[in-house]
Structure 1
Amino acid sequence: MCSYCKACKPWGDKKDSEEYLEWFDTHKDTGSANHQGSAGKMEVDDIREIFKRSVPSYGVKYLNYIGDGGSRTYKGVVDASPYSPSVEISKKECVEHIQKGMGTRLHACKKKIKGLGGRGKLTGKLIDELTIYYGLAIRRNSDSVEKMKDTIWATFFHKPSTDEQPKHDKCPPGQESWCLWQGVKVTENLKNYNHRTPLHSDVVDAICPIYESLTEKKLLQRCVGGFTQNLNESLNSVIWQIALKVHHSGAAIVK
Protein backbone atom coordinates (compact mmCIF):
# COMPACT_ATOMS: atom_id res chain seq x y z
CA MET A 1 0.00 0.00 0.00
CA CYS A 2 1.22 3.50 -0.85
CA SER A 3 -0.03 6.92 0.19
CA TYR A 4 1.28 8.68 -2.90
CA CYS A 5 2.34 7.95 -6.47
CA LYS A 6 5.89 8.72 -7.61
CA ALA A 7 4.76 8.99 -11.22
CA CYS A 8 2.43 11.87 -10.29
CA LYS A 9 5.08 13.75 -8.34
CA PRO A 10 6.93 15.42 -11.31
CA TRP A 11 3.72 17.12 -12.43
CA GLY A 12 3.67 19.25 -9.29
CA ASP A 13 1.93 22.54 -10.09
CA LYS A 14 0.81 21.41 -13.55
CA LYS A 15 -2.19 19.48 -12.29
CA ASP A 16 -4.64 21.98 -13.78
CA SER A 17 -3.07 21.88 -17.22
CA GLU A 18 -4.61 20.13 -20.22
CA GLU A 19 -1.39 18.21 -20.66
CA TYR A 20 -1.68 16.75 -17.14
CA LEU A 21 -5.36 15.86 -17.58
CA GLU A 22 -4.56 14.07 -20.82
CA TRP A 23 -1.75 12.12 -19.16
CA PHE A 24 -3.75 11.34 -16.03
CA ASP A 25 -6.58 9.88 -18.09
CA THR A 26 -4.24 7.03 -19.10
CA HIS A 27 -2.59 6.80 -15.68
CA LYS A 28 -5.44 6.91 -13.17
CA ASP A 29 -6.06 3.16 -13.27
CA THR A 30 -2.39 2.25 -12.85
CA GLY A 31 -1.28 4.76 -10.18
CA SER A 32 0.29 3.32 -7.03
CA ALA A 33 -1.47 5.66 -4.55
CA ASN A 34 -4.04 3.44 -2.89
CA HIS A 35 -4.16 4.71 0.68
CA GLN A 36 -5.30 7.84 2.47
CA GLY A 37 -4.34 8.58 6.06
CA SER A 38 -1.44 7.88 8.43
CA ALA A 39 1.12 5.08 8.25
CA GLY A 40 -0.43 3.53 11.38
CA LYS A 41 -3.84 3.44 9.70
CA MET A 42 -2.20 1.83 6.66
CA GLU A 43 -1.23 -1.23 8.70
CA VAL A 44 -4.75 -1.57 10.07
CA ASP A 45 -6.35 -1.22 6.63
CA ASP A 46 -3.87 -3.69 5.15
CA ILE A 47 -4.50 -6.45 7.69
CA ARG A 48 -8.24 -5.98 7.31
CA GLU A 49 -7.90 -6.57 3.57
CA ILE A 50 -5.81 -9.71 4.18
CA PHE A 51 -8.59 -11.18 6.34
CA LYS A 52 -11.41 -10.09 4.04
CA ARG A 53 -9.88 -11.72 0.95
CA SER A 54 -9.07 -15.06 2.64
CA VAL A 55 -12.39 -16.73 1.77
CA PRO A 56 -12.90 -15.49 -1.82
CA SER A 57 -9.22 -15.90 -2.71
CA TYR A 58 -8.21 -19.04 -0.81
CA GLY A 59 -11.34 -20.59 0.69
CA VAL A 60 -10.05 -20.37 4.27
CA LYS A 61 -10.82 -18.40 7.43
CA TYR A 62 -7.99 -17.12 9.61
CA LEU A 63 -8.89 -17.90 13.23
CA ASN A 64 -5.68 -16.62 14.85
CA TYR A 65 -4.07 -13.20 14.69
CA ILE A 66 -0.41 -13.34 15.78
CA GLY A 67 0.66 -9.92 17.03
CA ASP A 68 3.51 -8.26 18.86
CA GLY A 69 1.69 -6.71 21.79
CA GLY A 70 -0.16 -3.85 20.07
CA SER A 71 -3.95 -4.08 20.12
CA ARG A 72 -4.92 -1.43 17.54
CA THR A 73 -4.44 -3.68 14.50
CA TYR A 74 -6.19 -6.63 16.15
CA LYS A 75 -9.09 -4.39 17.12
CA GLY A 76 -9.30 -3.27 13.50
CA VAL A 77 -9.70 -6.88 12.37
CA VAL A 78 -12.37 -7.62 14.99
CA ASP A 79 -14.30 -4.44 14.17
CA ALA A 80 -14.20 -5.28 10.45
CA SER A 81 -15.85 -8.66 11.19
CA PRO A 82 -14.51 -10.32 8.00
CA TYR A 83 -16.48 -13.51 8.67
CA SER A 84 -19.82 -14.21 10.30
CA PRO A 85 -20.31 -12.84 13.87
CA SER A 86 -20.12 -16.39 15.20
CA VAL A 87 -16.51 -16.82 13.98
CA GLU A 88 -14.16 -15.62 16.72
CA ILE A 89 -10.66 -14.43 15.77
CA SER A 90 -8.24 -15.04 18.65
CA LYS A 91 -5.31 -12.80 19.50
CA LYS A 92 -2.06 -14.75 19.86
CA GLU A 93 1.21 -13.27 21.09
CA CYS A 94 4.50 -13.67 19.26
CA VAL A 95 6.70 -15.57 21.73
CA GLU A 96 9.79 -13.74 20.47
CA HIS A 97 8.27 -10.38 21.43
CA ILE A 98 7.02 -11.67 24.79
CA GLN A 99 10.52 -12.92 25.61
CA LYS A 100 12.01 -9.60 24.54
CA GLY A 101 9.54 -7.89 26.87
CA MET A 102 11.07 -9.71 29.85
CA GLY A 103 14.52 -8.37 28.99
CA THR A 104 13.17 -4.85 28.49
CA ARG A 105 11.38 -4.91 31.86
CA LEU A 106 14.45 -6.23 33.70
CA HIS A 107 16.74 -3.60 32.15
CA ALA A 108 14.25 -0.86 33.06
CA CYS A 109 14.05 -2.19 36.63
CA LYS A 110 17.84 -2.13 36.95
CA LYS A 111 17.96 1.42 35.66
CA LYS A 112 15.14 2.62 37.92
CA ILE A 113 16.29 1.13 41.23
CA LYS A 114 19.64 2.47 42.41
CA GLY A 115 22.15 -0.14 43.57
CA LEU A 116 20.41 -3.05 41.87
CA GLY A 117 23.23 -3.59 39.38
CA GLY A 118 26.80 -4.64 40.00
CA ARG A 119 28.66 -7.78 40.95
CA GLY A 120 26.43 -10.46 42.44
CA LYS A 121 23.23 -8.60 41.54
CA LEU A 122 21.25 -7.85 38.38
CA THR A 123 24.04 -7.87 35.79
CA GLY A 124 23.56 -7.77 32.04
CA LYS A 125 24.56 -11.44 31.85
CA LEU A 126 21.94 -12.41 34.43
CA ILE A 127 19.25 -10.45 32.60
CA ASP A 128 20.10 -12.32 29.39
CA GLU A 129 19.90 -15.66 31.23
CA LEU A 130 16.54 -14.92 32.87
CA THR A 131 15.15 -13.67 29.56
CA ILE A 132 16.23 -16.83 27.72
CA TYR A 133 14.87 -19.08 30.49
CA TYR A 134 11.53 -17.23 30.34
CA GLY A 135 11.25 -17.76 26.58
CA LEU A 136 12.24 -21.44 26.80
CA ALA A 137 9.67 -22.04 29.53
CA ILE A 138 6.93 -20.82 27.19
CA ARG A 139 8.15 -22.66 24.08
CA ARG A 140 8.72 -26.00 25.82
CA ASN A 141 5.30 -25.91 27.49
CA SER A 142 3.26 -24.21 24.78
CA ASP A 143 0.42 -26.69 25.20
CA SER A 144 -0.45 -25.68 28.77
CA VAL A 145 -0.78 -22.37 30.62
CA GLU A 146 -0.19 -24.04 33.98
CA LYS A 147 2.98 -25.78 32.77
CA MET A 148 4.29 -22.49 31.38
CA LYS A 149 3.61 -20.70 34.64
CA ASP A 150 5.15 -23.40 36.85
CA THR A 151 8.29 -23.60 34.71
CA ILE A 152 8.74 -19.81 34.63
CA TRP A 153 8.48 -19.62 38.43
CA ALA A 154 10.85 -22.59 38.71
CA THR A 155 13.54 -20.50 36.98
CA PHE A 156 12.77 -17.62 39.35
CA PHE A 157 13.03 -19.60 42.60
CA HIS A 158 16.01 -21.64 41.38
CA LYS A 159 18.36 -18.63 41.40
CA PRO A 160 18.02 -17.52 45.08
CA SER A 161 18.14 -21.10 46.45
CA THR A 162 20.69 -21.92 49.16
CA ASP A 163 21.84 -25.07 50.97
CA GLU A 164 19.73 -24.01 53.95
CA GLN A 165 16.70 -23.00 51.85
CA PRO A 166 16.52 -24.95 48.57
CA LYS A 167 13.60 -23.77 46.44
CA HIS A 168 13.52 -26.40 43.74
CA ASP A 169 10.01 -27.78 44.20
CA LYS A 170 8.92 -26.50 40.78
CA CYS A 171 12.14 -27.58 39.01
CA PRO A 172 11.73 -30.70 36.82
CA PRO A 173 12.78 -33.87 38.70
CA GLY A 174 15.23 -36.53 37.55
CA GLN A 175 18.84 -36.77 36.43
CA GLU A 176 18.00 -35.24 33.05
CA SER A 177 16.72 -32.06 34.71
CA TRP A 178 18.40 -28.71 33.97
CA CYS A 179 18.36 -28.26 37.77
CA LEU A 180 21.56 -29.79 39.19
CA TRP A 181 19.98 -30.04 42.65
CA GLN A 182 17.20 -32.26 41.30
CA GLY A 183 19.78 -34.41 39.50
CA VAL A 184 21.80 -34.94 42.66
CA LYS A 185 18.63 -35.61 44.66
CA VAL A 186 18.05 -38.77 42.62
CA THR A 187 21.42 -40.10 43.77
CA GLU A 188 20.52 -39.33 47.42
CA ASN A 189 23.78 -37.42 47.76
CA LEU A 190 22.46 -33.93 48.54
CA LYS A 191 24.67 -33.65 51.65
CA ASN A 192 27.65 -33.18 49.32
CA TYR A 193 25.89 -30.66 47.09
CA ASN A 194 26.71 -26.97 47.47
CA HIS A 195 24.65 -24.22 45.89
CA ARG A 196 26.34 -21.45 43.99
CA THR A 197 26.14 -17.88 45.28
CA PRO A 198 22.39 -17.18 45.44
CA LEU A 199 20.63 -14.28 43.78
CA HIS A 200 20.70 -11.23 46.08
CA SER A 201 17.48 -10.67 48.05
CA ASP A 202 17.25 -7.06 46.78
CA VAL A 203 17.12 -8.38 43.21
CA VAL A 204 14.54 -11.02 44.10
CA ASP A 205 12.24 -8.41 45.68
CA ALA A 206 12.68 -6.02 42.75
CA ILE A 207 11.99 -8.47 39.90
CA CYS A 208 9.22 -10.49 41.55
CA PRO A 209 6.48 -8.04 40.39
CA ILE A 210 7.80 -8.38 36.82
CA TYR A 211 7.41 -12.16 36.99
CA GLU A 212 3.93 -11.77 38.46
CA SER A 213 2.95 -9.50 35.58
CA LEU A 214 4.48 -11.70 32.86
CA THR A 215 2.88 -14.89 34.19
CA GLU A 216 -0.68 -13.59 34.22
CA LYS A 217 -3.12 -16.18 32.90
CA LYS A 218 -4.51 -13.88 30.17
CA LEU A 219 -1.03 -13.26 28.77
CA LEU A 220 0.08 -16.89 28.86
CA GLN A 221 -3.22 -18.01 27.34
CA ARG A 222 -2.31 -15.95 24.26
CA CYS A 223 1.03 -17.80 24.13
CA VAL A 224 -0.55 -21.25 23.84
CA GLY A 225 0.65 -22.77 20.59
CA GLY A 226 4.07 -21.10 20.73
CA PHE A 227 3.45 -18.90 17.69
CA THR A 228 6.05 -16.48 16.29
CA GLN A 229 6.24 -13.94 13.48
CA ASN A 230 9.54 -15.40 12.23
CA LEU A 231 8.13 -16.58 8.89
CA ASN A 232 6.73 -13.10 8.19
CA GLU A 233 10.01 -11.43 9.16
CA SER A 234 11.93 -13.86 6.95
CA LEU A 235 9.79 -12.89 3.94
CA ASN A 236 10.17 -9.21 4.82
CA SER A 237 13.96 -9.50 4.94
CA VAL A 238 13.98 -10.94 1.41
CA ILE A 239 11.85 -8.04 0.14
CA TRP A 240 14.03 -5.46 1.95
CA GLN A 241 17.15 -6.78 0.23
CA ILE A 242 15.57 -5.79 -3.08
CA ALA A 243 13.53 -2.75 -2.06
CA LEU A 244 15.70 -1.22 0.67
CA LYS A 245 13.87 0.29 3.64
CA VAL A 246 16.16 3.34 3.63
CA HIS A 247 14.83 4.30 0.18
CA HIS A 248 11.17 4.75 -0.67
CA SER A 249 9.87 2.28 -3.22
CA GLY A 250 6.46 2.42 -4.80
CA ALA A 251 4.08 -0.53 -4.99
CA ALA A 252 5.26 -1.42 -8.51
CA ILE A 253 8.89 -1.76 -7.36
CA VAL A 254 7.94 -3.92 -4.37
CA LYS A 255 5.76 -6.19 -6.54
Structure 2
Amino acid sequence: MTDEEREEWKREHRPQCSKDYEGSSKGMEKEAALQMWGRSIRKNRMRYTYMLSDGDSVAFKAVCDANFYPVKKLECINHCDKRMGTALRKKAKEEKLGGRRHSALTAKTCNILQSYYRNAIVKNLNKPEEMKEAIWASFMHCMSTDDNPQHEKCPHGPDSWCFFNKAVVSGVPPPPHKQNVAEAIRPIYDRMSHNTLLEKIQHGRTQNANECVNGQIWARCPKTIHVGAGCVNAAVSHFNQGCSHLSQVLGELGVSPGVNLQQFETRQDLTRCKRGDLFGQVEIKRARRAKGQAKRTNVIQIERQEGPTNGPGLLADKE
Protein backbone atom coordinates (compact mmCIF):
# COMPACT_ATOMS: atom_id res chain seq x y z
CA MET A 1 0.00 0.00 0.00
CA THR A 2 1.43 3.34 -1.02
CA ASP A 3 1.37 6.44 1.15
CA GLU A 4 -1.42 7.96 -0.92
CA GLU A 5 -3.53 4.81 -0.59
CA ARG A 6 -2.91 4.71 3.15
CA GLU A 7 -4.02 8.33 3.57
CA GLU A 8 -7.11 7.67 1.47
CA TRP A 9 -7.98 4.67 3.64
CA LYS A 10 -7.56 6.78 6.79
CA ARG A 11 -9.92 9.45 5.48
CA GLU A 12 -12.58 6.87 4.68
CA HIS A 13 -12.09 4.96 7.94
CA ARG A 14 -11.97 7.95 10.32
CA PRO A 15 -15.78 8.63 10.45
CA GLN A 16 -16.51 5.05 11.55
CA CYS A 17 -13.42 4.50 13.71
CA SER A 18 -14.19 3.97 17.43
CA LYS A 19 -10.72 4.97 18.60
CA ASP A 20 -11.01 7.98 20.90
CA TYR A 21 -7.58 8.22 22.53
CA GLU A 22 -3.98 8.47 21.42
CA GLY A 23 -1.19 8.45 23.96
CA SER A 24 0.40 6.37 26.66
CA SER A 25 -1.55 4.09 28.99
CA LYS A 26 -0.46 6.21 31.97
CA GLY A 27 -2.22 9.27 30.55
CA MET A 28 -5.44 7.38 29.86
CA GLU A 29 -6.88 7.91 33.35
CA LYS A 30 -6.50 11.69 33.15
CA GLU A 31 -8.13 11.93 29.72
CA ALA A 32 -11.01 9.69 30.79
CA ALA A 33 -11.64 11.84 33.88
CA LEU A 34 -11.67 15.02 31.78
CA GLN A 35 -14.23 13.49 29.42
CA MET A 36 -16.46 12.22 32.25
CA TRP A 37 -16.48 15.48 34.21
CA GLY A 38 -16.68 17.61 31.07
CA ARG A 39 -19.89 15.97 29.81
CA SER A 40 -21.53 15.17 33.15
CA ILE A 41 -23.94 18.13 33.11
CA ARG A 42 -24.55 18.22 29.37
CA LYS A 43 -25.06 14.48 28.89
CA ASN A 44 -26.12 13.09 32.29
CA ARG A 45 -27.52 16.20 33.99
CA MET A 46 -25.56 15.59 37.17
CA ARG A 47 -22.39 16.65 38.91
CA TYR A 48 -19.70 14.27 40.13
CA THR A 49 -18.74 16.13 43.30
CA TYR A 50 -16.39 13.44 44.64
CA MET A 51 -13.46 11.61 43.08
CA LEU A 52 -12.20 8.42 44.74
CA SER A 53 -8.64 7.73 43.63
CA ASP A 54 -5.15 6.99 44.87
CA GLY A 55 -2.85 9.65 46.25
CA ASP A 56 -0.57 10.09 43.23
CA SER A 57 -3.33 10.32 40.62
CA VAL A 58 -3.02 13.28 38.23
CA ALA A 59 -6.66 12.93 37.18
CA PHE A 60 -7.91 14.98 40.14
CA LYS A 61 -5.50 17.86 39.41
CA ALA A 62 -6.51 17.83 35.75
CA VAL A 63 -10.22 18.03 36.63
CA CYS A 64 -9.58 20.86 39.10
CA ASP A 65 -7.50 22.78 36.55
CA ALA A 66 -10.30 22.40 34.00
CA ASN A 67 -12.59 24.19 36.49
CA PHE A 68 -15.80 22.40 35.54
CA TYR A 69 -17.24 22.76 39.07
CA PRO A 70 -15.98 22.11 42.64
CA VAL A 71 -14.80 18.54 43.18
CA LYS A 72 -13.65 16.96 46.45
CA LYS A 73 -11.02 14.23 46.49
CA LEU A 74 -11.44 11.03 48.49
CA GLU A 75 -8.65 8.56 49.19
CA CYS A 76 -8.87 4.79 48.71
CA ILE A 77 -8.10 3.08 52.02
CA ASN A 78 -6.30 0.28 50.17
CA HIS A 79 -3.83 2.75 48.71
CA CYS A 80 -3.34 4.46 52.09
CA ASP A 81 -2.72 1.05 53.64
CA LYS A 82 -0.10 0.26 50.99
CA ARG A 83 1.40 3.73 51.40
CA MET A 84 1.96 3.09 55.10
CA GLY A 85 3.65 -0.26 54.44
CA THR A 86 5.84 1.19 51.69
CA ALA A 87 6.94 4.10 53.89
CA LEU A 88 7.87 1.76 56.76
CA ARG A 89 9.90 -0.58 54.55
CA LYS A 90 11.64 2.34 52.85
CA LYS A 91 12.57 3.86 56.23
CA ALA A 92 13.89 0.51 57.46
CA LYS A 93 16.04 0.16 54.35
CA GLU A 94 17.34 3.73 54.25
CA GLU A 95 18.29 3.96 57.93
CA LYS A 96 19.23 0.28 58.27
CA LEU A 97 16.71 -0.40 61.02
CA GLY A 98 16.40 -4.11 60.26
CA GLY A 99 18.45 -6.97 61.56
CA ARG A 100 18.10 -9.39 64.46
CA ARG A 101 18.31 -6.95 67.36
CA HIS A 102 15.38 -6.50 69.73
CA SER A 103 14.27 -3.13 68.36
CA ALA A 104 14.68 -4.01 64.67
CA LEU A 105 12.13 -2.85 62.12
CA THR A 106 11.86 -6.15 60.30
CA ALA A 107 9.57 -7.02 57.40
CA LYS A 108 7.28 -8.83 59.84
CA THR A 109 7.07 -5.75 62.08
CA CYS A 110 6.24 -3.57 59.06
CA ASN A 111 3.41 -5.94 58.12
CA ILE A 112 2.06 -5.84 61.68
CA LEU A 113 2.14 -2.05 61.81
CA GLN A 114 0.47 -1.85 58.40
CA SER A 115 -2.33 -4.18 59.53
CA TYR A 116 -2.80 -2.13 62.71
CA TYR A 117 -3.07 1.03 60.63
CA ARG A 118 -5.76 -0.45 58.39
CA ASN A 119 -7.59 -1.88 61.39
CA ALA A 120 -7.69 1.58 62.99
CA ILE A 121 -9.27 3.01 59.84
CA VAL A 122 -11.86 0.28 59.26
CA LYS A 123 -13.08 0.22 62.88
CA ASN A 124 -13.49 4.01 63.16
CA LEU A 125 -15.26 5.02 59.96
CA ASN A 126 -16.72 8.54 59.90
CA LYS A 127 -14.96 9.29 63.18
CA PRO A 128 -11.68 11.06 62.34
CA GLU A 129 -10.72 11.81 65.95
CA GLU A 130 -11.21 8.22 67.11
CA MET A 131 -9.42 7.03 63.98
CA LYS A 132 -6.40 9.18 64.75
CA GLU A 133 -6.29 8.02 68.35
CA ALA A 134 -6.46 4.37 67.25
CA ILE A 135 -3.58 4.90 64.80
CA TRP A 136 -1.37 6.36 67.51
CA ALA A 137 -2.44 3.59 69.87
CA SER A 138 -0.93 1.06 67.48
CA PHE A 139 2.26 3.14 67.35
CA MET A 140 2.57 3.28 71.14
CA HIS A 141 1.72 -0.42 71.36
CA CYS A 142 4.73 -1.33 69.21
CA MET A 143 6.96 1.17 71.04
CA SER A 144 6.38 -0.65 74.32
CA THR A 145 8.95 -2.71 76.18
CA ASP A 146 8.82 -4.86 79.30
CA ASP A 147 10.34 -2.00 81.30
CA ASN A 148 8.09 0.67 79.81
CA PRO A 149 4.71 -0.72 78.61
CA GLN A 150 2.66 1.88 76.73
CA HIS A 151 -0.74 0.30 76.21
CA GLU A 152 -2.95 3.00 77.76
CA LYS A 153 -4.58 3.85 74.40
CA CYS A 154 -4.93 0.25 73.26
CA PRO A 155 -8.43 -1.31 73.38
CA HIS A 156 -9.34 -3.03 76.64
CA GLY A 157 -11.38 -6.19 76.90
CA PRO A 158 -11.21 -9.90 76.09
CA ASP A 159 -11.58 -9.19 72.34
CA SER A 160 -8.82 -6.58 72.19
CA TRP A 161 -6.09 -6.93 69.56
CA CYS A 162 -3.60 -5.78 72.21
CA PHE A 163 -2.02 -8.88 73.76
CA PHE A 164 -1.02 -6.94 76.89
CA ASN A 165 -4.47 -5.57 77.80
CA LYS A 166 -6.14 -8.81 76.77
CA ALA A 167 -3.94 -10.72 79.21
CA VAL A 168 -4.61 -8.20 82.00
CA VAL A 169 -8.39 -8.54 81.60
CA SER A 170 -8.09 -12.33 81.56
CA GLY A 171 -6.11 -12.26 84.79
CA VAL A 172 -3.00 -13.95 83.40
CA PRO A 173 0.57 -12.58 83.29
CA PRO A 174 1.19 -10.66 80.03
CA PRO A 175 3.68 -12.31 77.69
CA PRO A 176 7.00 -10.53 77.13
CA HIS A 177 7.31 -7.87 74.46
CA LYS A 178 8.99 -9.22 71.35
CA GLN A 179 9.27 -6.07 69.27
CA ASN A 180 10.03 -2.40 69.68
CA VAL A 181 9.87 0.04 66.80
CA ALA A 182 12.48 2.77 66.62
CA GLU A 183 11.51 6.40 67.14
CA ALA A 184 12.58 7.06 63.54
CA ILE A 185 9.15 6.05 62.19
CA ARG A 186 7.28 8.74 64.15
CA PRO A 187 7.35 11.17 61.15
CA ILE A 188 5.59 8.50 59.09
CA TYR A 189 2.78 8.32 61.63
CA ASP A 190 2.60 12.12 61.74
CA ARG A 191 2.07 12.17 57.99
CA MET A 192 -0.28 9.17 57.76
CA SER A 193 -2.49 10.43 60.62
CA HIS A 194 -2.77 14.03 59.44
CA ASN A 195 -6.27 15.46 59.79
CA THR A 196 -6.51 16.28 56.08
CA LEU A 197 -5.77 12.67 55.11
CA LEU A 198 -8.11 11.20 57.70
CA GLU A 199 -10.97 13.34 56.39
CA LYS A 200 -10.42 11.84 52.94
CA ILE A 201 -10.43 8.21 54.11
CA GLN A 202 -13.10 8.29 56.83
CA HIS A 203 -15.65 6.98 54.30
CA GLY A 204 -13.85 3.60 54.19
CA ARG A 205 -14.35 3.08 50.46
CA THR A 206 -11.94 1.30 48.14
CA GLN A 207 -11.28 1.05 44.41
CA ASN A 208 -11.83 -2.72 44.41
CA ALA A 209 -14.82 -2.60 42.06
CA ASN A 210 -12.95 -0.27 39.69
CA GLU A 211 -9.87 -2.50 39.71
CA CYS A 212 -12.05 -5.55 39.09
CA VAL A 213 -13.74 -4.11 36.00
CA ASN A 214 -10.37 -2.87 34.77
CA GLY A 215 -9.03 -6.40 35.07
CA GLN A 216 -11.91 -7.67 32.93
CA ILE A 217 -11.24 -5.00 30.31
CA TRP A 218 -7.46 -5.41 30.12
CA ALA A 219 -7.83 -9.20 29.89
CA ARG A 220 -9.76 -8.68 26.64
CA CYS A 221 -8.01 -5.64 25.21
CA PRO A 222 -4.49 -4.80 26.41
CA LYS A 223 -3.58 -1.16 26.87
CA THR A 224 -0.97 -1.32 24.12
CA ILE A 225 -3.38 -2.50 21.39
CA HIS A 226 -6.60 -0.81 20.27
CA VAL A 227 -9.29 -3.42 19.66
CA GLY A 228 -12.46 -1.33 19.65
CA ALA A 229 -15.31 -0.72 22.05
CA GLY A 230 -16.83 -4.19 21.60
CA CYS A 231 -14.38 -5.78 24.02
CA VAL A 232 -15.09 -3.08 26.59
CA ASN A 233 -18.83 -3.70 26.29
CA ALA A 234 -18.27 -7.45 26.75
CA ALA A 235 -16.10 -6.82 29.82
CA VAL A 236 -18.70 -4.53 31.42
CA SER A 237 -21.47 -7.04 30.72
CA HIS A 238 -19.41 -9.83 32.29
CA PHE A 239 -18.67 -7.64 35.31
CA ASN A 240 -22.35 -6.75 35.85
CA GLN A 241 -24.04 -10.05 35.02
CA GLY A 242 -21.37 -12.71 35.09
CA CYS A 243 -20.85 -15.32 32.43
CA SER A 244 -24.63 -15.57 31.85
CA HIS A 245 -24.47 -12.42 29.71
CA LEU A 246 -23.43 -14.63 26.79
CA SER A 247 -26.93 -16.16 26.53
CA GLN A 248 -28.51 -12.72 26.65
CA VAL A 249 -26.29 -11.46 23.85
CA LEU A 250 -27.13 -14.48 21.71
CA GLY A 251 -30.83 -13.93 22.43
CA GLU A 252 -30.59 -10.33 21.20
CA LEU A 253 -28.98 -11.67 18.01
CA GLY A 254 -31.84 -14.11 17.49
CA VAL A 255 -29.83 -17.21 18.42
CA SER A 256 -31.21 -19.64 21.00
CA PRO A 257 -28.49 -20.65 23.48
CA GLY A 258 -28.03 -24.39 23.90
CA VAL A 259 -28.00 -26.47 27.06
CA ASN A 260 -24.23 -26.86 27.00
CA LEU A 261 -23.73 -23.09 26.98
CA GLN A 262 -26.14 -22.60 29.88
CA GLN A 263 -24.39 -25.30 31.91
CA PHE A 264 -21.02 -23.72 31.12
CA GLU A 265 -22.25 -20.29 32.27
CA THR A 266 -23.61 -21.68 35.53
CA ARG A 267 -20.42 -23.61 36.23
CA GLN A 268 -18.20 -20.59 35.51
CA ASP A 269 -20.24 -18.26 37.73
CA LEU A 270 -20.27 -20.74 40.62
CA THR A 271 -16.51 -21.21 40.34
CA ARG A 272 -15.91 -17.46 40.27
CA CYS A 273 -18.10 -16.87 43.33
CA LYS A 274 -16.41 -19.69 45.22
CA ARG A 275 -12.97 -18.26 44.47
CA GLY A 276 -14.16 -14.84 45.61
CA ASP A 277 -15.38 -16.23 48.94
CA LEU A 278 -12.07 -18.02 49.54
CA PHE A 279 -9.83 -15.23 48.22
CA GLY A 280 -8.62 -14.04 51.62
CA GLN A 281 -7.95 -17.43 53.18
CA VAL A 282 -4.40 -18.40 53.96
CA GLU A 283 -4.54 -21.65 51.99
CA ILE A 284 -5.77 -19.86 48.87
CA LYS A 285 -3.06 -17.21 49.16
CA ARG A 286 -0.42 -19.89 49.58
CA ALA A 287 -1.71 -21.81 46.57
CA ARG A 288 -1.79 -18.62 44.48
CA ARG A 289 1.81 -17.78 45.39
CA ALA A 290 2.90 -21.35 44.66
CA LYS A 291 1.22 -21.23 41.25
CA GLY A 292 2.97 -17.97 40.40
CA GLN A 293 6.31 -19.32 41.58
CA ALA A 294 5.83 -22.46 39.47
CA LYS A 295 5.22 -20.33 36.37
CA ARG A 296 8.33 -18.25 37.00
CA THR A 297 10.41 -21.39 37.59
CA ASN A 298 9.14 -22.90 34.34
CA VAL A 299 10.11 -19.77 32.40
CA ILE A 300 13.60 -19.81 33.93
CA GLN A 301 14.09 -23.46 32.97
CA ILE A 302 12.98 -22.83 29.39
CA GLU A 303 15.32 -19.84 29.10
CA ARG A 304 18.22 -21.94 30.40
CA GLN A 305 17.52 -24.64 27.83
CA GLU A 306 17.27 -22.12 25.00
CA GLY A 307 20.41 -20.27 26.04
CA PRO A 308 21.02 -16.59 25.21
CA THR A 309 18.51 -15.41 22.60
CA ASN A 310 18.98 -11.65 22.55
CA GLY A 311 20.93 -8.92 24.23
CA PRO A 312 22.77 -5.69 23.45
CA GLY A 313 25.91 -6.45 21.48
CA LEU A 314 25.43 -10.21 21.83
CA LEU A 315 26.27 -11.08 18.22
CA ALA A 316 29.08 -8.50 18.03
CA ASP A 317 30.77 -10.04 21.07
CA LYS A 318 30.78 -13.47 19.41
CA GLU A 319 32.22 -12.07 16.23
Query: Which TM-score bucket, shorter chain as reference?
Result: 0.7 to 0.9
AA in 2 matched with 1:208: R
| Selected match of 1:113 from 76, 83, 95 | 95
Q: CA–CA distance in 1 between the matches of 2:222 and 2:11?
A: 31
Q: CA–CA distance in 2 between the matches of 1:184 and 1:21?
A: 78
| Selected match of 2:216 from 216, 238, 241 | 238
Aligned positions of 1:125-144 closer than 5 A: 125-144=108-127
| Deviation at residue 20 of structure 1 after TM alignment | 4.2
Aligned to 1:114, what secondary structure does the other structure show? coil
Deviations 1:41-70 (A, max 9, x none): 443221011122333443332121111112
Deviations 1:174-205 (A, max 9, x none): 22222233334445x4xx523423433xx321
Contact 1:99-1:135 within 8 A present in 2 as well: yes
Q: Number of matched residues?
A: 231
Aligned to 1:228, what secondary structure does the other structure show? coil
Contact 2:77-2:206 within 8 A present in 1 as well: yes
Corresponding residue of 2:106: 123
Aligned positions of 1:75-86 closer than 5 A: 75-83=61-69
| Deviation at residue 250 of structure 1 after TM alignment | 3.3
AA in 2 matched with 1:96: N
Corresponding residue of 2:225: 248
Deviations 1:155-187 (A, max 9, x none): 111123244422112112222222233334445
Q: CA–CA distance in 1 between the matches of 2:21 and 2:97?
A: 51
| Selected match of 2:138 from 155, 162, 168 | 155
Corresponding residue of 1:89: 71
Corresponding residue of 1:45: 31
Q: CA–CA distance in 1 between the matches of 2:231 and 2:56?
A: 26
Structure 1 pair 45–27 and aligned structure 2 pair: CA distance change class (3 A): same
Aligned positions of 1:169-188 closer than 5 A: 169-186=152-169
| Deviation at residue 71 of structure 1 after TM alignment | 5.0
Q: CA–CA distance in 2 between the matches of 1:184 and 1:35?
A: 60
| Deviation at residue 153 of structure 1 after TM alignment | 1.0
Q: Structure 1: 5+ residue runs without aligned partners? A: 1-10
Structure 1 pair 250–198 and aligned structure 2 pair: CA distance change class (3 A): same
Contact 1:99-1:131 within 8 A present in 2 as well: yes
Percent sequence identity is 35
AA in 2 matched with 1:217: N
TM-score (norm 2): 0.65
| Deviation at residue 152 of structure 1 after TM alignment | 0.9
Corresponding residue of 1:197: 177
Deviations 1:95-137 (A, max 9, x none): 1111111111111111112353335422211111111111121
Q: CA–CA distance in 1 between the matches of 2:97 and 2:127?
A: 37
| Deviation at residue 143 of structure 1 after TM alignment | 0.8
The answer to which structure, 1 or 2, has the higher relative contact order (CA under 8 A, 6+ apart) is 1
Q: CA–CA distance in 1 between the matches of 2:202 and 2:28?
A: 29
AA in 2 matched with 1:93: E
Structure 1 pair 66–204 and aligned structure 2 pair: CA distance change class (3 A): same
RMSD between aligned residues: 2.5
Q: Structure 2: 5+ residue runs without aligned partners? A: 233-319
| Selected match of 1:28 from 11, 14, 17 | 14
